[in-house]
């Protein structure tokens, strides 16, 4: 993916060290054994209890962090006992260990890691900040994800996911937005990843910022409009679905109906725009983004207008509902 988060099945220990090594200040402590092993979990484990022999709940599929507690405990043991303690965890297929706070890994740890094809790193960083940065990055790598056929564009800071059937005009409409100063994120195939309660969209690294425009072929948006016309990734805030005018005869004309759609368990607003020759789709997409900004600030224009109409009708009804004068005097 273009945002530098590899697919989970591609995240090896070597790739993790290449991407996060400088930030985590990692240095190989026992050679390059285990660098080809896959990182299989976004979480980490502190093996302190497992070193004592209690391995019933030992999470061997996680990166093992040896902090001050673990290293100090091992240093108090005799060599034979230290070897036995380390053997308690290496009876499982451990693939990566990180020794923090600048401590040197015990020789017994390096020996066991070499036999088990396990990578061992050391870092001068404190344990808690290192864990925070490492798990934050791995959470992004292992986040739920899916690919969606559509185009993602940043309009006034709002992430518009434009979808619709093939050849309906998604790319042309978004190209009009780019010409207006907005930023393209991805065309044709949008890769969406869930991070917490947020959807983040990006494009394919190979395709870059190319758009397929029928009749023109492939267009390089970054080369034509400059680097400020493109963006690596963007939060997906709203889906705008383009449909044929005849596909749905009862389009919403008031804006009172609030449709939504769901991606990866997160619900976002959905707007359906009919496509008809002569309609300025770029302008309509801009208005959809601005309406979304108003809604997020608590401004609901259709609801406010409806309330005013209701109040006017009630006032008219009350004014016309009083006693009526006939203008005739009483009979004698």
pLDDT in tens, 183-198: 999 998 999 999 889 9
Q: CATH code at 83?
A: 3.40.1390.20
Predicted local distance difference test score (pLDDT) of residue 249: 61
Contact 299, 194 (CB under 8 A): no
Does 170 participate in catalysis according to the annotation?
yes
CA-CA distance, 57 to 69, in Å (whole number)?
19
Residue 284 inside a domain? The answer is yes
Nearest residue to 152 (alpha-carbon basis) of 128, 123, 187, 117:
187
Examine the domain organization and report whether 154 and 295 are in the same domain.
yes
Residue 40 has pLDDT above 50, yes or no: yes
- Higher-scoring residue by pLDDT: 239, 246: 239
Examine the domain organization and report whether 204 and 264 are in the same domain.
yes
Examine the domain organization and report whether 227 and 178 are in the same domain.
yes
Residue 13 inside a domain? The answer is yes
Final residue belonging to a domain, choices 120, 141, 162: 141
Residue 161 has pLDDT above 60, yes or no: yes
Residue 190 inside a domain? The answer is yes
Does 149 participate in catalysis according to the annotation?
yes
Residue 2 inside a domain? The answer is no
Residue 321 inside a domain? The answer is no
pLDDT in tens, 96-143: 999 999 999 999 999 999 999 999 999 999 999 999 999 999 998 999
Residue 326 inside a domain? The answer is no
- Higher-scoring residue by pLDDT: 319, 19: 19
Residue 185 inside a domain? The answer is yes
Does 297 participate in catalysis according to the annotation?
no
Of 4, 149, 308, 312, catalytic: 149
Does 56 participate in catalysis according to the annotation?
no
Examine the domain organization and report whether 116 and 172 are in the same domain.
no
Q: What is the pTM of this model?
A: 0.75
Of 43, 126, 133, 188, catalytic: 188
Examine the domain organization and report whether 151 and 290 are in the same domain.
yes
- Higher-scoring residue by pLDDT: 167, 13: 13
Of 56, 78, 253, 267, catalytic: 253
Residue 310 inside a domain? The answer is no
Residues in the chain: 332
Residue 256 has pLDDT above 90, yes or no: no
- For 269, residues 6+ apart whose C-beta sits below 8 A from its C-beta are 237, 238, 239, 258, 259, 260, 292, 295
Final residue belonging to a domain, choices 122, 141, 160: 141
Final residue belonging to a domain, choices 105, 120, 141: 141
Examine the domain organization and report whether 117 and 30 are in the same domain.
yes
- For 238, residues 6+ apart whose C-beta sits below 8 A from its C-beta are 158, 159, 160, 161, 268, 269, 270, 271, 288, 289, 292
**Residue 30's pLDDT band (boundaries 50, 70, 90)?**
confident
Examine the domain organization and report whether 187 and 290 are in the same domain.
yes
Of 5-14, 20-29, 56-65, the one with minimum mean pLDDT is: 5-14
Secondary structure of the chain in HEC code, one letter for each residue: CCCCCCCHHHCEHHHHHHHHHHHHCCEECECECCCCCECCCCCEECCHHHHCCCCCCCCCCCEEEECHHHHHHHHCCCHHHHHHHHHHHHCCCCCEEEECCCCCCCHHHHHHHHHHCCEEEECCCCHHHHHHHHHHHHHHHCCCEEEEECEEEEECCEEEEEEECCCCCHHHHHHHHHHCCCEEEECCEEEEEEECCEEEEECCCCCCCEEEECCCEEEEHHHHHCHHHECCEEECCEEEEEEECCCCCCCCCCCCCCEEEEECCEEEEEEEEEECCCCCHHHHHHHHHHHHHHHHCCCCHHHHHHHHHHHHHHHHHHHCCCCCCCCCCCCC
Predicted local distance difference test score (pLDDT) of residue 328: 47
Of 145, 170, 182, 241, catalytic: 170
Examine the domain organization and report whether 130 and 213 are in the same domain.
no
Residue 331 has pLDDT above 50, yes or no: no
Q: CATH code at 152?
A: 3.40.50.300
Average pLDDT over residues 18-34: 93
Examine the domain organization and report whether 117 and 172 are in the same domain.
no
Examine the domain organization and report whether 291 and 184 are in the same domain.
yes
Examine the domain organization and report whether 172 and 202 are in the same domain.
yes
State the residue range of the domain holding 297: 145-305
Examine the domain organization and report whether 205 and 301 are in the same domain.
yes
Number of domains the chain contains: 2
């Amino acid at each position: 993916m273009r945002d530098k988060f590899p697919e989970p099945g591609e995240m090896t220990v070597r790739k993790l060290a290449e991407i996060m090594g400088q930030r985590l200040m990692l240095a190989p402590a026992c050679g390059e054994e285990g660098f080809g092993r896959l990182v299989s979990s976004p979480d980490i484990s502190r093996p302190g209890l497992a070193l004592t022999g209690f391995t019933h709940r030992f999470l061997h599929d996680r990166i093992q962090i040896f902090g001050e507690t673990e290293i100090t405990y091992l240093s108090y043991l005799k060599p034979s006992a230290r070897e036995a303690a380390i053997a308690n965890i290496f009876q499982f297929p451990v693939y990566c260990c990180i020794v923090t706070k600048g401590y040197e890994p015990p020789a017994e740890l390096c020996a066991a890691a070499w036999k088990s094809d396990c990578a061992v790193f050391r870092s001068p960083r404190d344990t808690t900040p290192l864990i925070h940065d490492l798990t934050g990055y791995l959470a992004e790598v292992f986040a739920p994800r899916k690919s969606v056929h559509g185009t993602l564009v940043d309009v006034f800071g709002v992430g518009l996911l434009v979808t619709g059937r093939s050849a309906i005009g998604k790319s042309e409409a978004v190209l009009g937005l780019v010409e207006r100063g907005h930023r393209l994120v991805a065309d044709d195939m949008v890769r969406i990843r869930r991070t917490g309660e947020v959807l983040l969209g990006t494009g394919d690294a190979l395709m870059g910022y190319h758009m397929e425009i029928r009749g023109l072929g492939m267009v390089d948006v970054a080369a034509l409009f400059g680097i400020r016309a493109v963006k690596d990734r963007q939060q997906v805030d709203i889906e705008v679905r383009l449909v044929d005018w005849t596909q749905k005869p009862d389009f919403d004309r008031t804006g009172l109906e609030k449709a939504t759609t769901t991606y990866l368990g997160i619900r976002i607003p959905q707007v359906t725009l009919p496509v008809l020759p002569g309609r300025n789709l770029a302008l309509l997409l801009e208005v959809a983004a601005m309406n979304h900004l108003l809604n997020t600030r608590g401004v609901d224009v259709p609801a406010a207008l409806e309330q005013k109409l209701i109040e006017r009708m009630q006032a008219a009804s009350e004014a016309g509902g009083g006693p009526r004068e006939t203008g005739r005097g009483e009979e004698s």
